[in-house]
Amino acid sequence: MYLNCKTLRTVFFIAVLVAVSGINNAHSQTMGDVLERVRAVKFFEMDRIDVKQVLYEMTFDGEFDNRDDFTYGDFDIEAYYSTGECDEDEDEIFEAAHGKAIRIVITSSEDLEVKDLGFDISKLKKEQKYLNNEKSFIYHDKKLGIAVDVDDDEVEEVILFPRISSGTKPCGNDKARDFVKMKSWFGRENLESRVEYACSQALIAAELPRIAFVTNLTLGRDSLAASDSRRIDVATISSDPQNEILKYRYIVSGGQVIGSGPNVVWDLTGVPPGTYTLTAAVDDGCGFCGATVTKTVVIK
């Protein structure tokens, strides 16, 4: 998960999450609406079809390997699903069947201050995230299954995750065991070892020669008649100077992407006539930092 500088590597934040209860959202109707909807998601029980039914009032923005994206007003909602393998790289803390919901992350496209949350985070445990940033904190309550990432009094993320009191067995790695057993969000990792990466343009420029990027994007068709199949083959070509394993991300303005990797299918079934876009990006561990390519299709 990428915090603060979402275009650069971040390594020290454990992202795990679950249904929230006992939160008074009367002060912020917009955040209250989001929480009211997403806390109905039952972790370890619901799959992505169930989650879409629960979040039906939200706009579905795309399906990825282990994540679905939604928007609701100024809020972006990411629903994460288990790999079924307790993947430490995917920040999986509890054992869960493949495809079951395991956390939800809420961010805002507009500046969101702590006072706008609609609940009092002073009741949550507060921990400084980085040694070199005294204004960046994580507030959390593992018994409730909620965490709030705050930087200089602005909310970066609200995270919902399974309560540690749920009785679910933790994964077998040290990070998962520490998260369940220890009060600290960071487990045994002390503050002195957590240093925030700078987000300067100079650093980004220095990284660019080593960052993977999309070089070409091909759609099987760029226009569809009423009688045509609404499934379009998508092929992505990328360049990676360091020859690392890449993750592919597709953002669509309509329909959904089926599959993963460089070759997928863009399914526009049920989408009304109009012009729609698909953007391809790749991640080599930096995040989706490199250049992207966008293509358009017209449904007549």
Confidence of residue 47 (pLDDT cuts 50, 70, 90): very high
> Any bridge partners for residue 282, and if so which?
248
Q: At residue 88, does pLDDT exceed 80? A: yes
Confidence of residue 1 (pLDDT cuts 50, 70, 90): very low
Q: How does DSSP assign 244-281, residue by residue?
A: ---EEEEEESSSEEES-SSEEEEE-TTPPSEEEEEEEE
Sequence-separated (6 or more) residues with CB below 8 Å from residue 17: 43, 80, 102, 103, 104, 105, 145, 146, 147, 159, 160, 161, 162
Contact status, residue 88 vs residue 97, Cβ threshold 8 Å: no
Q: What radius of gyration, in Å, describes the C-alpha atoms of the chain?
A: 20
Confidence of residue 67 (pLDDT cuts 50, 70, 90): very high
d(CA 34, CA 263): 34
Confidence of residue 288 (pLDDT cuts 50, 70, 90): confident
Confidence of residue 206 (pLDDT cuts 50, 70, 90): low
Contact status, residue 231 vs residue 270, Cβ threshold 8 Å: no
Q: Average pLDDT in the 271-294 region?
A: 85
Using alpha carbons, list the distances in angstroms from residue 252 to 256, 276, 283, 293: 7, 7, 17, 12
Confidence of residue 130 (pLDDT cuts 50, 70, 90): confident
280 CB neighbour count, 10 Å cutoff: 25
137-151 pLDDT, tens per residue? 999 999 999 999 999
pLDDT at 110: 86
User: What per-residue string of b and e applies to 92-131 under the rule 16 or more CB within 10 Å gives b?
Assistant: bbbbbeeebbbbbbbbbeeebebeebbbebeebeebebbe
Confidence of residue 10 (pLDDT cuts 50, 70, 90): very low
pLDDT at 19: 32
Q: Average pLDDT in the 38-51 region?
A: 95
211 CB neighbour count, 10 Å cutoff: 23
What share of residues in the chain are helix, strand, coil (percent, to 5)? 15, 35, 50
Q: At residue 176, does pLDDT exceed 60? A: yes
pLDDT at 296: 92
- Give me the percent of the chain exceeding a pLDDT of 90: 49
| 213 token code pair | 């990027």
d(CA 14, CA 150): 14
Q: At residue 29, does pLDDT exceed 70? A: no
243-263 pLDDT, tens per residue? 878 889 898 888 999 999 999
Burial of residue 261 (number of CB atoms within 10 Å: 0-12, 13-18, 19+): exposed
296 CB neighbour count, 10 Å cutoff: 12
d(CA 164, CA 180): 6
Confidence of residue 227 (pLDDT cuts 50, 70, 90): confident
Helix and strand counts by DSSP (H, E) for the chain: 4, 16
pLDDT at 105: 95
Sequence-separated (6 or more) residues with CB below 8 Å from residue 171: 86, 88, 92, 93, 94, 95, 177
Does 57 or 27 have the greater pLDDT score?
57
Q: At residue 23, does pLDDT exceed 60? A: no
